[in-house]
Amino acid sequence: MSIDMSQFYQVFFEESAEHLANMESLLLALDLDAPDPDQLNAIFRAAHSIKGGSGTFGFTDMTEVTHVLETLLDRIRKNEIAITSEMVDAFLLAGDVLRGLLEAHQNGSLADEAASLAIREKLQKLTAASIGAGNTKPSDVPAPTSKEPEVPAAANGQYVYQIRFVKNRTNFKKKEQLDNLLQALRDIGTISNQKIESNSVSLTLISSTSEEDLREAFMFFIKPEQLTLTVQDNPSVTNKSKTDDELGYGFFVDPENLKSDVENAQGYGFFVELENQPQPAASGQILQPEEIPQRRATDKAPTAATVAAETSIRVSVEKVDQMINLVGELVITQAMLAETVSGMDQVLYERLINGLAQLDRNTRDLQESVMSVRMMPINFVFSRFPRVVRDLASKLEKKVQLKTVGEGTELDKGLIEKISDPLTHLVRNSLDHGIELPEERIAKGKDPQGTITLRAAHQGGNIVIEVEDDGAGLNREKILAKAREKGIPFNDNISDADVWLMIFAPGFSTAEIVTDVSGRGVGMDVVKRNIDSIAGRVEITSRPGQGCTVTIRLPLTLAILDGLSIAVGEQTYIVPLSFISESLQPGATDIKNVSGQGQVVLVRGEYVPMIALHQVFNIKPKVTRPEEGILVLLEAEGKKVALFVDELVGQHQVVIKSLETNYRKVAGMSGATIMGDGRVAMIMDVPALVKLAQQ
Amino acid sequence: MQTNEGTTAASEGRELLTFTLGSEEYGIDILKVQEIRGYDAVTTIANAPDFIKGVINLRGIIVPIVDLRIKFHLGKVEYDQFTVVIILNIAHRVVGIVVDGVSDVITLAADQLKPAPEFSSTLGTQYITGLGTIDDRMIIVVDIERLMTSSDMELVEAIAA
């Protein structure tokens, strides 16, 4: 009976990616001085789950990397060795390698063998190094379950091991592998009596390493049953270990042994933790009772994860979008019914009207909850930055801490995907150009450690995301000089805000040195373009010497819009509410003609250019004199314009429909929507209108 | 796939929906027709050519409406309860056309279809597949997909731009 495993691949890929992301964020959050055991366990579990999954699906390259990773993690978790920042770096690197392997499997492309080999060696070295160091610390390795007498530790902490193992084509394909093993042994002790025969190797090792650790060191090279390991001064233990090996499994389920289960006919090739480990008696025995359940608990971890997974389901985005569309239709139908009913006799059709009122509430709730399916916390984006900042800061030799505020702020999934690149760019930019080197900061009387703050919040119908740094801030003179050099025209008394926006011009970079991080001047314009494409706006505020803040304003969702409907002649248009600052009825004297062409209107001492919508759109209006109609004051991209319309109709939440699906892009319109009466209304593209007014 | 449909239809004769524009009778491939409906409230599109009447809401889909009578200067342009809109499904788009009237569904055998002579007609000859004769009626068979996606109709972005 064979099951087609490939159908589960996608789930494995997604889950592994999640585990990796989880592992990374945990690693970054880890306090090296006092690591939280829960966090360590969580990291271990993540690695373990990936290993289990990759083993099941036969992605051996991933299994191998996670195996080494897990071995080291396990020791840290059990407090055998202290975690160092070097290890965290190695773990992060291992995460990257795993991600690479995962992608390679996913795309069917070639994996980077060299990288995975390098990280394995690095981790092994760290493990080996820690094995040496490990013994000097009190060890709480699982204690024997049998009442075998403890082996007294030699006075100098050294053991004499007789080691003999099988050497054949399968376990040592290359000579280097044997050399590596021997080198690893040499690293932890002294080798003597080394005899390499055609199919076996025997040697005597004097080392302070415990037998368990030694066996694990061999695990990378040979199967447990191919190894005979005896401690010379205690022959009785040797006998015992042999019997246990024959049994094939023991009391402790050791995740490290998953690898051998393929060969082992008895399924799990768990072998017994050898009883004769050097046990600094007192501490080891006290710990023993808790230690056993703890190990059991981790072994059950995959089960716990499965339970957690069942509370959520994976649904394709198309299905969700289809649902959103259908609910949108439902809302429209409901509105149509409501309008029909509004003309009916309230008393005669009371029940119908009541029923419809209830339908109205229900559809609205339904719409809200369906929309919320697409909403995700912005943490999905923010969570990648600790790593970015950490890596970059060490590369640039800067000290930077990252603060995130409002990670729980939710926004549309589509936006999440599109905002992540621009944000990364902004953060990198802040780090590279904003934050100064520690010495420079000290000279300026600032904390040598710079701070980058990522902040997200809801503000009205918008999401506001800020990237703030406490670095040097933008340099007005430098930017203007660069603008002059680039031939960008500007006014001499240009406002600061406009100067800052110049950095978004293509090819604009004031960085003195082009680094591989940034400074090539491709990037900020891409940032701007990306944000524009999702109807967002960017603002920069900068305080010289104190830092710089980039603010991005995004609509909550791309599918629904709060709009004001306005009427001109027979037509109804929707103006996005976010652009409207106010509506007013002007006095006849407030309207002025400018050189016989355009018209301006005086609004509280400020002249604002006026656009008559009926002229722009060539429609016959009901009123032609602005003082008889209404002016809607619009603001986009920092420019103001007054839109002259016949009347305001009302405020609606409208579902945005593309005009391009069946027609094409219409100048001055950003889309269309269906109104309550079933008619189509156009949604105005306010930034385009404002631009139009400027011409 | 479409060519397959075309060949099988050609051997057994092809089904056409015929409509009138002025005094002329046109036929289009019935497989391209989604539905036929009356003309109702259209939302105009600012600064669009006059033959693009605007867009309608077809059960939640925004569909542009083209008045072929205006485009080809045929027939009397008035909108009443008898005005007919043919909703077409072409090139993965939904488009409506206004015509004078829908007359018939006919089957035209291959031998009944004659190539169109080279003449200058209001409808460019490149859009005419041929002339069909049934009894003493002459039907101008139009490649409606080609016509609607052409740059003349200003319906499709890529070509229009």
More confidently predicted of B99 and A694: B99
Q: Which domains does chain B have, with CATH numbers?
A: 2-160 (2.40.50.180)
Mean pLDDT, to the nearest integer, of B31-56?
A: 86
Residues of A in contact with B57 (CB under 8 A): 674, 678-680
Going from the C-alpha of B32 to that of each of A599, B15, B103, the distances in angstroms are 50, 11, 16
Residues of B in contact with A668 (CB under 8 A): 46-47
B94: nearest CA partner in chain A:
A662
Give residue-wise pLDDT tens across range A508-536: 765 554 444 554 445 677 788 788 777 77
SS (H, E, C) A501-537: HHHHCCCCCCCCCCCCCCCCCCCHHHHHHHHHHCCCE
Would you call A458 a catalytic residue per the annotation? Answer: no
User: Of A325, A571, A662, which has the smallest distance from its Cβ to B63's Cβ?
Assistant: A662
Domain A377-555 fold: Heat Shock Protein 90 (3.30.565)
Write down the H helix ranges in A569-685: 613-616
Would you call A48 a catalytic residue per the annotation? Answer: yes
Instruction: Tally Cβ neighbours within 10 Å of residue B113.
Output: 20
Q: What does A149-174 look like in DSSP terms, one character per residue?
A: PPPPPPTTS-EEEEEEEE--TTT-SS
Which pLDDT band holds residue A132 (cuts at 50, 70, 90)? low
pLDDT at A474 over 50: yes
Whether the CA torsion A540, A543, A545, A546 is positive or negative: it is negative
Name the least confident of A22-31, A261-270, A436-445.
A261-270
A620: nearest CA partner in chain B:
B46
Q: Which residue in A471, A475, A505 sits closest to A490, CA to CA?
A: A505
pLDDT at A316 over 70: yes
Give residue-wise pLDDT tens across range A221-280: 666 666 777 776 544 444 444 444 444 444 444 444 444 444 444 444 444 444 444 444
Architecture of domain A1-143+294-308: Up-down Bundle (1.20)
More confidently predicted of A391 and A2: A391
Degrees (nearest 5) of the Cα angle A475, A477, A480? 105
Mean pLDDT, to the nearest integer, of A323-346?
A: 80
Architecture of domain A317-374: Orthogonal Bundle (1.10)
Architecture of domain A560-694: Beta Barrel (2.40)
Architecture of domain A144-278: 2-Layer Sandwich (3.30)
Mean pLDDT, to the nearest integer, of A447-452?
A: 88
Domain ranges of chain A: 1-143+294-308, 144-278, 317-374, 377-555, 560-694
Which pLDDT band holds residue B103 (cuts at 50, 70, 90)? confident
- The verdict on a CB contact (< 8 Å) between B62 and A680 is yes
Q: Which residue in A17, A79, A9 sits closest to A50, CA to CA?
A: A17
Residues of B in contact with A616 (CB under 8 A): 46
A617: nearest CA partner in chain B:
B46
pLDDT of B86 reads: 92
| Bridge pairing between strands A599-603 and B84-90 | unpaired
Question: Of A572, A680, A684, which to mutate for an interface test with B (greatest number of B Cβ within 10 Å)?
Answer: A680
Kindly report the length of chain A: 695
**Residue B127 corresponds to which tokens in the numbers above?**
């859009």
Rounded Cα gap, residues A247 and A250, in angstroms: 8
**CA of A661 vs chain B CAs: smallest distance (Å):** 7
Element counts in chain A: helices (H) and strands (E): 21, 22
Question: Of B55, B56, B153, which to mutate for an interface test with A (greatest number of A Cβ within 10 Å)?
Answer: B55
Interchain contact A616–B (C-beta under 8 A):
yes
Mean pLDDT, to the nearest integer, of A62-77?
A: 81
**CA of B90 vs chain A CAs: smallest distance (Å):** 10
pLDDT of A220 reads: 63
pLDDT of B87 reads: 93
Mean pLDDT, to the nearest integer, of A35-45?
A: 80
Going from the C-alpha of A242 to that of each of A106, A226, A471, the distances in angstroms are 43, 12, 65
Q: Which residues contact A415 (CB under 8 A, 6 or more apart)?
A: A463, A534, A554, A555, A557, A558
Q: Phi then psi for B121, rounded to 5 degrees?
A: -115, 170
Of all residues in chain A, what percent are helix, strand and coil, respectively (each to 5)? 45, 20, 30
Looking at residue A274, the DSSP 8-state letter turns out to be P
- The verdict on a CB contact (< 8 Å) between A672 and B54 is no
Give residue-wise pLDDT tens across range A615-656: 888 888 888 787 788 888 888 766 788 888 888 888 877 777
Supply the mean pLDDT for chain A.
74
Q: How close are the terminal C-alpha atoms of chain B, in Å? A: 29
- Chain A segment 327-356 residues within 8 A of B by beta carbon are 328-329, 332
Interchain contact A661–B (C-beta under 8 A):
yes
User: Of B46, B95, B155, which has the smallest distance from its Cβ to A618's Cβ?
Assistant: B46
Would you call A429 a catalytic residue per the annotation? Answer: yes
**CA of B27 vs chain A CAs: smallest distance (Å):** 23
Report the share of chain A in percent with pLDDT over 70: 73
pLDDT of B122 reads: 60
| ipTM of the complex in this document | 0.78
Give residue-wise pLDDT tens across range A363-420: 888 887 887 887 888 888 888 888 888 888 888 888 888 889 988 888 888 788 888 8
Mean pLDDT, to the nearest integer, of B42-60?
A: 84
Give residue-wise pLDDT tens across range A579-591: 888 888 888 788 8
Task: Give me the residue label for tokens 């592992």.
Answer: A23
Mean pLDDT, to the nearest integer, of B32-51?
A: 86
Bridge partner list, A566? A573, A648
SS3 category, B87: strand
pLDDT at A426 over 60: yes
Rounded Cα gap, residues A363 and A369, in angstroms: 10
- The verdict on a CB contact (< 8 Å) between B44 and A679 is no
**Residue A442 corresponds to which tokens in the numbers above?**
């000290």
SS3 category, A690: helix
B43: nearest CA partner in chain A:
A680
Going from the C-alpha of A281 to that of each of A149, A598, B109, the distances in angstroms are 11, 94, 100
User: Of A332, A658, A666, which has the smallest distance from its Cβ to B45's Cβ?
Assistant: A666
The answer to whether the beta carbons of residues A489 and A573 sit under 8 Å apart is no
Give residue-wise pLDDT tens across range A162-205: 777 766 666 666 666 677 777 777 777 777 777 776 677 777 77
pLDDT at A2 over 60: no
Task: Give me the residue label for tokens 């011009």.
Answer: A505
Which pLDDT band holds residue A75 (cuts at 50, 70, 90)? confident
More confidently predicted of A488 and A349: A349
Rounded Cα gap, residues B28 and A439, in angstroms: 79
